[in-house]
Chain A
Amino acid sequence: MSARDRLIGLQRSMRLAVATRAATIGITVFLAALVLVRMSGAPRWAMGVAALVAAVATALFLLRLRGMASLPRVALWVEERTPSLRYALVTVAEGVKDPRLETQALSAPWWADASRTLLRSLVAPLLALLVTGGIAVWSHSAFAPTFSNEPTLATAAASMDVLATVHVAVTPPAYAGRAAMSTDDPTSVDALIGSVITVSGSGDARLLTAEADSSPRAVAQRGAGWSVSLAMPARPALLHLHSSAGRDRLIVLAPAMDAVPVVTLIAPSRDTIVRRASGVLALNAEVRDDIGLRDASFELVISSGGGESFTFRTTTLARTVFASRTEATLATRLSLDSLALKPGDLLQVRAVARDGNTVTGPGVGASETRSIRVARPDEYDSLSVEAAPPPDEDAQVLSQRMLINLTEALVRRQRQLVRPMLVAESRRIASDQQRLRKRVGDVIFQRIGAQPLAEEGSEESRGGKLTPEELLRLADSVTGGAGAVMDVEGDETPILALNKPLLEAFNAMWDAGRALEIGEPRNALPPMRVALAAIERARVAERIYLRGRTKGAIVDVARVRLSGKDKGTPPLRETRLPHDPVSRRRAEAFERVTPLMATHPDAAADSLLLMRVDALGDAPALAAALDDAAKALRKHDQHGIALAWTRVRRALGGAPRVRAGISSWSGAP
């Protein structure tokens, strides 16, 4: 190999060595800057500065390549280190071809020395690179939490917007049969317990953490965005979203309760004691639910026995399935004979309904319980056995109009009947007429404060018809001489004026009853019609409204003239009740939030939402007002903020506050 060839090889090696050294130094500078940035917590743009410094250092070192551009300069570099060559190598490098010069240029092994020099020049940069690289690896692990998930400027910029828009989708439970809803940037989510709530946004999921009631929630990556899914809890909770950029977002999870069905038992309408349990009992109930009913039925409990021995039978009747209807009617008829109730037995009836709640339910609602007891024979003397109220159609049987119809029909058939049969049927009508007369008499005597007429059997002791004068005397005896008090001018007393139509009916019924008793239905009809007309008049009689006399006023002249003596007992103002600790704590928290409203509205909104979670359980009005206030703050709606603030203060109840000094607006404490 000629000397020139060896010189060209050395030139290439030198260029490679310089480039390698420049690159090594550049990387070392960058790693050192990176370590400094991590350890000092400098902002992200410092990374860019470090990269720039590294590039400049690399470029400065690459400038040394210019010294190796020509072959003679490389030869001079060799001649400087090997003086024995006596410029033979430089001469060869300049293109002179002479065997003696060639021999002189190869007389010493300068290429080996040059290679060792080049290698030695790389040792220090490589050692520096190794040390810096080691420190960089150590700092990566030591400061990972600070810089996790943001290795580049691009991702750092992206994390700024990861909570820019939060989208919430609510899917109610299937049993509710309601459509899914979605909203953007809510402060609060109101949904049924068990609803699936999906909170989503754009950006890298790794840049976000989520907590619900201090429990971490998984943040999933969905395409280009993130997503958090959770079920609506049974108690109010707070969903806390935190981005690695330091931004927070609070969303209140307000659970809505599914109310239990409301069941109203229409019939039977009251508890009853009967002598004998027979016939048909109508059962009727109304059921209602806020979301949807599943089924309803009547429950019967029959208890028998006495003393210490009782037996119970339970059965369900008329179970009806409703396809998520919100209102329904339940009706059936129960044959009391089929229950074979014995004296002393107790039948209890209630209606029960269940809703379709498959998450926290089903909710079960029950009506009041009605009891029907069969009286024992040995308690007849100590117990008021009352029959169930007759249905309306039965009550109408007793009407005077119906008695007239029956009598007229009897008159029409009179010729076809033998006398005993005529009398028997006529007396049957007379019996009803007597009962109706007793009811009219009860009305009259209850009005004047007397006892009702005696039992039907002893009614004859009243002496039949009453004259107005007898009625007045009767009233006098009851009221203790009321007649003197009512000694007003006119033809009759107020008592008689009130009762006159009914008294006329009462007496006409007496006449009718007497005629019917002796089998003369034709003669009974005129007084029966008179009685009916009198009852009609009583129905439309003018109502009298009594008005009390106005209480007189005595003027306190001295007080009016402000000249009276001060009695030293001014009316005391009632002190306001002190707030309970919870209300006081809320009021104080709200007062702390108020100054933040102007300076840090987002922080104020978050504080209000925290208060809302606390208030949702026991103060729904306050919770609603707090939600409005938080929304207004988020929207920067000044008018809405003022209104909402007023509502919150009202809901808080105006806590009496004790101030340390004089308030700023007046001298009053």
Chain B
Amino acid sequence: MSEFVFATAQYESGDWDSAPLLPANVIDSIARYTSIEVAPTGVIVPLSSPSLFRYPLVYLTGHLPVRFSDAERANLRQFAARGGLLFVDDHNHDIDGTFHKTATEELTRVYGGLKPLPKTHPLYQAFFVFEDGPPTTSHELNGWGDNLVHKTLSGVEREGRLVLLFSNKDYSSEWNYHPENKRFLSVDNTRFSVNIVVYALTR
């Protein structure tokens, strides 16, 4: 069994690398809480590249408008058909923001309509149990973005499993810190990332 490699999607428009420390933090949590074999560093994979299919979970974020190229759209459709999970996080945490509007538009073209995930979704029990749904981040009410607490995540399911997970909760800001600083937190705020990884690897 090969080790899990955390992949960050590189797309031609926008700022795809706005959360450079998030992969290390997620990898640290996987190593800390699970026995999953995990690579010590993440990789950057172009959305238009066939190498996208090597990774069961791909993370995509940004602040700026998103416009997928034809190759990227085609690759994403293939990725979804093969069972890959694309986790998209709005770094602006703004439902009126440019990233949200353009990314949901593009994703709808590729995946179809996004639907909110109920609190009882298996994602929230995949490893840690989150009875209230997605954990709130400290950035949602920081005065920027839409300044809303987003109660649900949304996504697209195919054959009973998620192929697209979309978040406006700005986990990209919440988890974008050096893993060595995790010791200063009374409660690790990256635990939900373990659920996403475990869900992607087991469903």
Contact = CB atoms under 8 A, between A and B. Distances in A.
Contacts of A550: 20-21
Interface band, chain B: 10 to 19
A555 interface: yes
Contacts of B31: 555, 557, 560-561
Contacts of B28: 555, 560
Contacts, number: 34
A482 to B, nearest CB: 24
B20 A554 contact: no
B32 A560 contact: yes
Interface in A523-559: 549-550, 552-557
Nearest to B24: A553
A561 B20 contact: no
Given A550-B21, A552-B20, A552-B24, A557 B179 contact: no
A554 B32 contact: no
Contact of A561 (B25, B32, B180): B32
Interface string A415-441: 000000000000000000000000000
B69 interface: no
Interface in B23-72: 24-25, 27-28, 31-32, 38, 40-41
Contact of A553 (B21, B32, B38): B21
A556 B20 contact: no
A557 B38 contact: yes
Nearest to A563: B31
Contacts of B40: 554-557
B121 interface: no
Nearest to B180: A553
A557 B27 CA distance: 8
Interface band, chain A: 10 to 19
A302 to B, nearest CB: 64
B89 to A, nearest CB: 17
Contacts of B178: 553
Contacts of A549: 20
A361 B41 CA distance: 72
A555 B21 contact: no
Nearest to A550: B20
A414 B108 CA distance: 74
A552 B20 CA distance: 7
Interface in B12-27: 20-21, 24-25, 27
Contacts of B41: 552, 554-555
Interface of B: 20-21, 24-25, 27-28, 31-32, 38, 40-41, 178-180
28 contacts: A549-B20, A550-B21, A552-B24, A552-B41, A553-B21, A553-B24, A553-B25, A553-B178, A553-B179, A553-B180, A554-B40, A554-B41, A555-B24, A555-B27, A555-B28, A555-B31, A555-B40, A555-B41, A555-B179, A556-B40, A557-B38, A557-B40, A560-B28, A560-B31, A560-B32, A560-B179, A561-B31, A561-B32
User: Which 4 residue pairs of A and B lie closest in terms of their CB atoms, listed nearest first?
Assistant: A553-B24, A560-B31, A557-B31, A550-B20
Given A554-B41, A561-B31, 18 more contacts: A549-B20, A550-B20, A552-B21, A553-B179, A553-B180, A554-B24, A554-B40, A555-B24, A555-B27, A555-B28, A555-B31, A556-B40, A557-B27, A557-B38, A557-B40, A560-B31, A560-B32, A560-B179
